[in-house]
Copies of this chain bind each other. A is one copy, B any other.
């Protein structure tokens, strides 16, 4: 199988397998250059990357994530609550570092080519960069874990993100003991992947 497909299928959303070993500067650089090579609407490149190594910052974020975990858990009942209790939702403290990716809607403005009719197009660009980062990290033998149990205002305050810039992702990053063959949520019975056929339409919905 070509490397590209192999990497796409091997990629996982990592929580428990981070080793905490350091990431070499040149490796991190390649991963970030991959992210930065993503397409963006009107070539606005509306992303920024915050590299978070400071332990106090990560601890503060971790504590917030645990609180939000409780908020979500309180919405569940019965078997669903039991399944969720077994699922680890972050590797903030165990991973080598985190990369926070943000979206600046003012970048390249006011006339961003391709965004006048779809305000969210800039948001989409940042996500494309995140997937490049994720694949590059996987190819480099690293794991990535996207943590989304947080409130955006908390994260903006914690990291001094200016008004008008929106944090899109907290990504844990670093070497891993292994990548699971089956995604965590499937292994823990939370939800199964459905086949491509279920998602295809021809000419009309």
Contact = CB atoms under 8 A, between A and B. Distances in A.
Interface string A100-134: 00000000100101111110110110011011101
Interface string A22-53: 00000001101110111101111101111111
A54 B203 contact: yes
Given A135-B135, A139-B4, A117 B185 contact: no
A41 B148 contact: yes
Contacts of A149: 114, 116-117
Contact of A50 (B43, B146, B205): B205
A71 interface: yes
B151 A185 contact: no
A144 to B, nearest CB: 9
A77 to B, nearest CB: 10
A180 interface: no
Interface string A9-28: 10101000000000000000
Contacts of A203: 50-54, 57, 159
Interface in A155-172: 159-162, 165, 168-169
A163 to B, nearest CB: 11
A6 to B, nearest CB: 9
B47 A199 contact: yes
A52 B115 CA distance: 23
A57 B29 CA distance: 44
